[in-house]
Amino acid sequence: MTSRTLIADLAHLPEGPVRVAGWVDTVRDQKKVQFIVLRDESGAAQLVNPAVREGDEGDPTITEAISGLTNGTFISVEGELKHDERVKLGGLEVKIGDLEVVAPALDSPIAEDSSIDKRLDWRFLDLRRPEQNLVFRVQTTFLHALRTWWVEHGFIEIHTPKLMASASESRAELFEVEYFETKAYLAQSPQFFKQMAQPAGFGKVFEVAPAFRADPSFTSRHATEFISIDAEISWIDSHEDVMRMHEELLVAALTAVKEKHGAEIEAAFGVEVTVPTTPFPRIPLAEAKEIVAGRGYTVPRADADMDPEGERQIAAYVKEQFGHEFVFLTDYASSIRPFYHMRHEADAGLTNSYDLIFNGVEISTGAQREHRVELLEEQAREKGLDPEELGFYLDFFRYGVPPHGGFGMGLSRVIMLLLQQPSIREVTYLFRGPNRLQP
């Protein structure tokens, strides 16, 4: 049997025998012509039954088989590759010599109802769309570029546990699970464990892994299980060092995406990928709120984080003033930050921290961490946490730890905003939310 050729590779082959395999996208079964648009993981191509086109009987078995094909049926075809610039689909076609129905398909349940909830019910069918295929190829390139940058800059990859004995952030957002004779919690972030690598002497670490938040939100940017991109580095002077690392990392990733997929993204989504310049704009949170107020919108609570409309407004301002899709909002109040964020030396009411806004939505939080154990204990008590329950974490700091900091970033949010999709549900392989546990 002839080896299978991916459709994307057909253009580089000379005319001659080939075998292609995939699923039926469409069938045009007319009296004088039979065409199949075949799709595989790499693209689509036109197949033609030459017997019908040329008016002879040919192989009636093939003609009958094509007439009975349903969309989504997986087939394998051996035939003759012909290059013909008149063919709109890739300038080539395959003349069918032999056709095998590998796996017939029922009529698609999402053909008539293409709502997001219906498509998610039948996600494996929805993922056949070329736009969805592109989403995950973009994601693959993005993550590969991140890893390449980290490795080339001396980072160590770690894999932290997702079952924890205590909270790493807010106890209100914990999923509790039975764990033999006790209770365990699904990790909200690898925060404590990536910090543990600093007294261990690893210096610079990264992780790409699932995280879990028991947050009953139904917004376009929240999920109960998501992929978190994390990095932590030692020997920093302030959160500025973390921001510098963060922006260089994103420039490398977006450069790779633009080079490999820029034309495809523009064709599929009408989006031009922009590689940002460095440094990204930096605006203290208090100043950002003043800017937003000057644009006619007041963030509801003065002592709170920037709300979604505030994020959109500050992003619009940065786009207008700097032509930039990213902005770091810095110097968050200690009252709205975790206990482990370092406070300003001159003003304990502020932290050495930031949020990164991309196209109007927050995608990441980063900070310099407090590494002095006595201050950590004090700040934990201020947040209503019991230092005794944080014993294993606080022990990290009793045996020497360098100044350090890092960030956590949601993968799906980045891809959603990069491709300008309406919801992370469109760019998550299998979405998990408050009312979705299947498929």
Feature table: binding site for ATP: 362, 410-413
List residues forming the annotated binding site for L-aspartate: 169, 213, 365, 369
Annotated binding site: 169, 213, 362, 365, 369, 410-413
AA identity, residue 362: E
Closest CA to 327 of 298, 306, 304, 350: 306
Q: Are 133 and 154 in contact (CB under 8 A)?
A: no
Cα separation of 118 and 406, whole Å? 39
ω into 279 cis (within 30 of 0) = yes
Task: Look at residues 116, 26, 110 and name the one whose alpha carbon lies nearest to residue 75.
Answer: 26
Counting Cβ atoms within 10 Å, is residue 235 exposed (0-12), middle (13-18) or buried (19+)? exposed
Q: Which residues pair with 207 in a beta bridge?
A: 230
Spell out where 104-203 has E strands: 156-157, 163-164, 176-179, 182-186
* Among 184, 178, 182, 148, CA closest to 165: 184
DSSP code, position 369: B
